[in-house]
């Protein structure tokens, strides 16, 4: 008897779908793999997601975007204490990506041809994150051009740290890189604020 409980609604299937897409990529995530991950038959998957795999990925991306909007983007956009917001961002990102052990679905889509289908979602995710972080730094009196450069460097560094940690099977590399990125931002806040 399986200990895995079958999911009974669209929303509860999203985390399992996201993990299947992380593990297999969009192209490699067959309906059989998605069915196994969720415990739902192919018919149930199509019942919840009549648009098939594309609709499943769009729903996963919306779910991810919702988490990032609440946990990362909004706190940076509505910041009153930039240093605390930057620290919280790195803490939350480290937990979310499990110190680099968890693949960034959005980042993966941006790297392959299947990402063209989701180009708007990928672009919006990264653009909002960079913009929110740059805004936070500007609130701390970091000059706008420098804030944008630092924000781009931080987001690209986080994404690169995920790749490196997975490639090396070493989550401490993720932690070291993220710590350096955080220190760079906090130093800029301290110098300019």
Domain holding 107: CATH number? 1.10.357.10
pLDDT above 60 (res 72): yes
- Does an H or E element contain 127, and which? helix 119-139
**Mean pLDDT, to the nearest integer, of 154-182?**
95
Structural domain contains residue 143:
yes
Query: Is 94 within a domain?
Result: yes
**136 and 79 Cβ atoms separated by less than 8 Å:** yes
Q: What is the mean pLDDT of residues 20-29?
A: 92
Work out the average pLDDT over 18-29. Answer: 92
What pLDDT sits at residue 8? 60
Phi first, then psi, for residue 7 (nearest 5°) are -80, 145
Q: What is the pLDDT of residue 116?
A: 82
The reply to whether 142 falls in a domain is yes
Number of domains observed in the structure of the chain: 1
pLDDT for residue 80? 96
Q: Using CA atoms, how far apart are residues 32 and 16, in angstroms rounded to an integer?
A: 13
Question: Mean pLDDT across the stretch 30-37?
Answer: 94
pLDDT at 1 exceeding the cut of 50: no
**Does residue 112 surpass a pLDDT of 80?**
no
**pTM of structure:** 0.90
The tens digit of pLDDT for each residue in 43-54 reads 999 999 999 999
Among 12, 7, 10, 30, which residue's Cα sits nearest to residue 20?
Answer: 30
Mean pLDDT of the chain: 91
pLDDT of residue 193: 72
pLDDT at 3 over 50: no
Please check whether residue 130 lies inside any domain of the structure.
Answer: yes
CB 18 within 8 A of CB 64: yes
Quote the domain boundaries for residue 147.
Answer: 54-192
């Amino acid at each position: 008897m399986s200990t895995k409980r079958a999911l009974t609604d669209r929303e509860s299937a999203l985390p399992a779908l996201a993990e299947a897409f992380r593990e297999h990529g969009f192209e490699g995530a067959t309906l059989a793999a998605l069915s196994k991950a969720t415990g739902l038959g192919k018919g149930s998957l199509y019942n919840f997601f009549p648009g098939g795999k594309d609709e499943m990925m769009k729903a996963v991306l919306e779910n991810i975007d919702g988490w990032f909007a609440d946990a990362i983007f909004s706190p940076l956009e509505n910041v009153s204490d930039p240093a605390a917001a930057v620290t919280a961002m790195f803490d939350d990102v480290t937990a979310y990506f499990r110190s680099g052990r968890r693949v960034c679905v959005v980042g993966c889509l941006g790297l392959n041809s299947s990402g063209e289908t989701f180009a708007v979602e990928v672009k919006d995710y990264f653009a909002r994150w960079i913009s929110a972080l740059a805004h936070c730094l500007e609130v701390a009196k970091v000059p706008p051009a420098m804030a944008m450069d630092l924000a781009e460097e931080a987001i690209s560094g986080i994404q690169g740290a995920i790749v490196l940690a997975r490639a090396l099977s070493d989550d401490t590399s993720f932690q070291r890189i993220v710590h350096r990125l955080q220190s760079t931002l906090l130093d800029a806040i301290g110098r300019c604020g």
